[in-house]
Amino acid sequence: MLFFVSALIFNQLSGRKPQIKVIPSTTPGVFLESYFNNENEYNQSFIKSEDIIKTHVLATITSHHFLARDLIAQTFLGINPTGIKSVIIVSPDHFKQITKTDVLVQTTDSNWHTPFGNIDPDSDLINKITQQNGIMNDIGLFRTEHGVYTLVPFVKKALTKTKIVPLVLSQSTDYEYFYDLGEKISKIVNLDETVLVISSDFNHYTSIQKARSNDEKSIKLLPNKKLEEVNLITNDCKQCTAFLFGYLKNTDTDFKLIFNKNSFDLSGQDPENVTSYIGAYFIAK
C-alpha cells in the first residue's frame, strides 16, 4: 500500500500521468492521506495566525499550494468552528482523471489520516449527494489530487470535530451543471452546520503585474455570484466558482477578502512566472 501511494506521488512530481488503481471506497482499512505530513510545518503556519478573530463562515476560497500554507492556515483559523459538523472541499480535477463521459464529479467516503488524527467522511451527506446525476463515489483520484489532500490536515487541525465531504469537479465547461449542483447541495445541507471550501488558485504562469491586474478584477466579480461572470474570473477552477455561486444563490452574503498574494511574495522566485492566491469568506448577512 505504501509503495503504491509513493509511486503515485513520484509520478505526479515527475510530471508523468499517475497510473490510478481503482479501489472501491468500501474496502476495509483503506485510508487516504496528504503527501504533506510534517506536523511541525503545519504547526508553524498555525502559530502565525493563532490570534486571528473567528467568523461564522458559509463558504471560503483558499489556495491548495503548500507553498501558501501560512495563508491556508489563516483561512481555516479564521472560521468559527462552533456548531460546524461538515466541511465540503470542492477541488478541480488537475490531472483529468475523471474520464467517464457521464461523470462530472467524483467523491469518496474513505477515511483520512492526518498528522493531527483521523478525519471521517460525512457518509450520510455523501450518500445524498451521490444521488444527484453525474456523481461517482470512488477513491481512485483522491490519492493524487492535491486540491483535496493538501487541505485535509488544515481542516482537522482547525475544525477538529467536523467530518469531510470531498468533491472533485471534472474539467467540463458545463458551468450551468455545476451551478445547479451547488444550489441543489445547498438545499440538502444545513448551512449553519456546514462550511464550503473552494480549493482554487488564481493566475498561473504569468507576471506579477498581470496577476495583480487579473486578481483585482476577480476580487470585484466574486461578490456578485453571477454565473455569466464565471469566465471573467481568472482561476484554475471555473467549475468550482460556478458551484460556489449556485451554492450561495439563495443566501444573502457579505464578501470578506482575507488575502491576495502570489508565489513571488512567498518565495521571492520567478517574478515573471507566478501563481496568485485569493482568500475570501462569504458570510451570511
158-192 tens-digit pLDDT: 999 999 999 999 999 999 999 999 999 999 999 99
242 or 14, which is more confident: 242
Confidence at residue 51, expressed as pLDDT on a 0 to 100 scale: 94
CA dihedral 229, 185, 145, 273 (to 10 degrees): 20
> Concatenated DSSP letters for 147-207?
HHHTTHHHHHHHSTT-EEEEEEE-S---HHHHHHHHHHHHHHS-GGGEEEEEE-----SB-
Q: Which three cell numbers stand for residue 77?
A: 483559523
Domains of the chain, by residue range, sit at: 2-284
Residues 6+ apart with CB under 8 A from 232: 217, 218, 221
Q: Is the pLDDT of residue 26 over 50?
A: no
Beta strands in the chain (DSSP E): 31-33, 59-62, 86-92, 105-107, 111-113, 135-137, 163-169, 194-199, 253-262, 276-284
Judged against a pLDDT cut of 80, whether residue 209 lies above it is answered with yes
Q: How far apart are CA 239 and CA 168, in angstroms?
A: 10
Q: How many other CB atoms are there within 10 angstroms of residue 7's CB atom?
A: 13
| Averaged pLDDT, 147-160 | 98
Q: Rounded CA gap, 136 and 247, in Å?
A: 20
Assigned CATH topology for domain 2-284: Protocatechuate 4,5-dioxygenase; Chain B (3.40.830)
Convert the pLDDT of each residue in 36-65 to its tens digit: 999 999 999 999 999 999 999 999 999 999
pTM: 0.90
Closest CA to 244 of 258, 230, 259, 260: 230
Q: Can you name the residues that pair with 199 across neighbouring β-strands?
A: 62
Query: How much is the pLDDT for 29?
Result: 56
Residues in the chain: 285
